Amino acid sequence: QDNKLATQSKTQEVDFKTRETTELEKANNEMSADRASAQEELDALEEYWTKLTDQCVVKEIPYEVRQAKRAKEIAGLKEALGHLEQAGDRISDLQVQASNRQINTVFLQLRGSQAHRRPRRIKA
C-alpha cells in the first residue's frame, strides 16, 4: 500500500509538473511573441526618429567646408562681374558709335539745308 501511495503521489507530482511546464511554455511563447512585436515597433520608432532628426536637426558644417564654399562663391561672383564689365564696355562703345553717327547725320542734314540757301548779299 505504501508503494501505491508513493506511486500515486509521484504520478500526481509528474502530472502537476507536466501541466506547469506546459503553462510556462505557453506563457513563454506568448511573451516571446509580445517581445517580438514590441521590438518591431521599437525598430520602426527608432527609424522614424532617425529620419526626423536628420530633417530637423541642424548639422554643424565644418569651418573648412564653409570657407571653401564661400571662396568658390566669391570666385564665381568675380567672374560674373568681369563679364558684366566687359559687356558694359561694349555697350558704352556701341553707344559712343551710335552717338557719333547721330551727330554726323545731324551735321550733314544741317550742312545740306544750308547749301540750298542763297547767300545774302551785303550792300556796301
Sequence letter at residue 13:
E
pLDDT at 22: 94
Residue 120 DSSP SS3: coil
Cell numbers of 123, please?
550792300
pLDDT at 32: 93
Task: Record the pTM.
Answer: 0.39
pLDDT at 78: 93
- CA-wise closest residue to 12 among 24, 23, 4: 4
pLDDT at 15: 92
Q: What is the pLDDT of residues 54-63, one digit of tens each?
A: 888 778 889 9
d(CA 124, CA 114): 24
d(CA 112, CA 73): 58
d(CA 98, CA 92): 10
Residue 116 DSSP SS3: coil
Report residues of the chain scoring pLDDT below 50.
Answer: none
pLDDT at 99: 79
